[in-house]
Amino acid sequence: MEEKEIEKLRKESLDYSLKDCAATSAMSGFGDNYISPYIISMNAKPYQIGLLTSLPNIFSPIAQIIGSKLMMRFSRKQIVSFAVLSQALMWLPIIFSGYLYLKGFIFAPTFLIFSYALYIFFGSLGGPAWVSWMGDLVKEKELGSYFGLRNSIGTIVSIISITVAGFILDLFKFWNTEKAVFVGFSIIFFLAMVFRILSRRFLLKQYEPKFKFQEEHYFSFISFVKRLPKTNFGKFVILLSFMNFAVNLVGPYFNLYIFRDLKFTYTQFMLLSVSSSIAFFIFYPFWGKLCDKFSYTSVLKFSSILVSFVALLWFLTIFLYPIQAFYYLLFVNFFSGFSWAAFNLATNNFFYLNVSPPKRSLCSAYSSILYGLSIVIGAELGSQLLNILQNRYVNSIMLLSVISGFLRLICGVLFIIIIEEPKVIYRSLLPEFLEKLRKIKSTIILESAAFFQEIYKLPSIIKIILKKENNKENGKEK
């Protein structure tokens, strides 16, 4: 195959990947975003809500290791195709768990947890193959801009699907029956399944460059762990695991706080999710350009500090009435989307640029084991701490949020100190940021001055117009 033809196929595949991202984001918006409210509607206990987050993160790394080994025998497209179809079909038992709950089966939340864990398992099974596949399709210089565009498209679709799903749930909740709410969940989860099947169609149209699994690039998990403290990438994996631990200490319980303590509706929950997604959409391309222009590591260090404040800002809701807390959390979630857009993009780019293509699938699988364990430990420890703190005068979930925020801040500082960076963040990003801020400030001042000047002149202008009209009327009368 000629080089021009390969380049054409590569570009077409990247376009199909954008469509795949849109369909997958629709699935996530209709499905993943509402799994937590789904189990809360089953009156699940805090430890079950924690399991919904932690158990899938045990299944995920196991699936990635299996997926890496499958690459020895099957093509990457075959692995991804099977994984995506299997994941799509898992929405059926997830829907069925709601039927079990309505029939009075007490194990319905547990059935949902295991069904969702298998859903994550199949999604992760194709992860290493997909990472390796996309690594061959996206050129190094395109990483920031392409994934920035890809995620922006995904965010738009996610916003739309989250919004529609929220309205569907509140529409069925309007009938004020428990059965109606679960009918609403069944509809949005069925739509999630349909969109995942659609994403598979786009994946099958992508070109797969030739790939041969080479035995010499294989290394064991033990050797991977032993090398972690010795390499820059290894230190990154350790710190990201610590960050996952800190985030999931309280992350799974924010929705419980929203529905149980603040008594928010599904529409309010949807608006909070959309607020975060809009910020993600607006700022993802911006962060992508900064990654390309300066360095992904600089953005990583800067954003690791930003995400620390998200959890700390949540704590202030204890001083607000529910309606005030809702408007305040719209701002907090917008800031969250701004911060996590930078952090997620930077971590993805860090992985692609620090791991050679032959080793990406294994490194992705092994890293996920550590990330998964940190999430499990964080969620389960959070569940235990909620029981310990629940008799205190301050809301236990919000106390946990403060602890999570300070742990994230420690992790952010460690990112700055430990991860090697040729361009220091405050030397590379701050001057340009201040210069842009100065220009924006000047423009705002000038435009504001002109606006108020026109407002000040408005009465005299009105008088002149009225005077002219009177003169015309007097002229006609004469």
Contacts of residue 446, Cβ cutoff 8 Å, sequence gap at least 6:
none
What is the percent of the chain where pLDDT is above 90?
Answer: 44
Instruction: Give the global pTM.
Output: 0.76
Q: Residue 117: is its pLDDT beyond 60?
A: yes
Confidence of residue 216 (pLDDT cuts 50, 70, 90): low
Q: How many helices (H) and strands (E) does the chain have?
A: 20, 0
CA distance 391 to 107: 28
Mean pLDDT, rounded, for 46-62: 86
DSSP state of 262: S
CA distance 392 to 373: 29
Q: Residue 214: is its pLDDT beyond 80?
A: no
Confidence of residue 64 (pLDDT cuts 50, 70, 90): confident
Q: Which of 338, 233, 234, 345 is closest to 299 using CA atoms?
A: 345
Residue 410: the pLDDT is 95
Q: Residue 477: is its pLDDT beyond 90?
A: no
Confidence of residue 427 (pLDDT cuts 50, 70, 90): very low
Better pLDDT: 375 or 285: 375
Mean pLDDT estimate for the chain: 83
CA distance 110 to 44: 9
- Structural contact between residues 360 and 219, judged by C-beta atoms closer than 8 angstroms: no
Mean pLDDT, rounded, for 447-457: 45
Q: Which of 62-66, 77-81, 418-422, 439-443 has the lowest mean pLDDT?
A: 439-443
- Structural contact between residues 10 and 207, judged by C-beta atoms closer than 8 angstroms: yes
What is the percent of the chain where pLDDT is above 70?
Answer: 85
Q: What is the pLDDT of residues 179-192, one digit of tens each?
A: 889 999 999 999 99
DSSP 282-333: HHHHHHHHHHHHS-HHHHHHHHHHHHHHHHHHHGGGGGS-HHHHHHHHHHHH
H runs (alpha helix) in 138-177: 143-173
CA distance 24 to 297: 28
Mean pLDDT, rounded, for 70-99: 93
CA distance 30 to 191: 7
Residue 193: the pLDDT is 97
Q: Residue 424: is its pLDDT beyond 50?
A: no
Contacts of residue 65, Cβ cutoff 8 Å, sequence gap at least 6:
221, 365, 366, 369
Q: Which of 295, 315, 277 is closest to 404 using CA atoms?
A: 315
Q: Residue 468: is its pLDDT beyond 60?
A: no
| Cα angle value 378/380/385 (rounded, 5°) | 90
Q: What is the pLDDT of residues 167-177, one digit of tens each?
A: 999 888 877 67
- Structural contact between residues 206 and 17, judged by C-beta atoms closer than 8 angstroms: yes
CA distance 423 to 431: 13
Q: What amino acid occupies position 180?
A: A
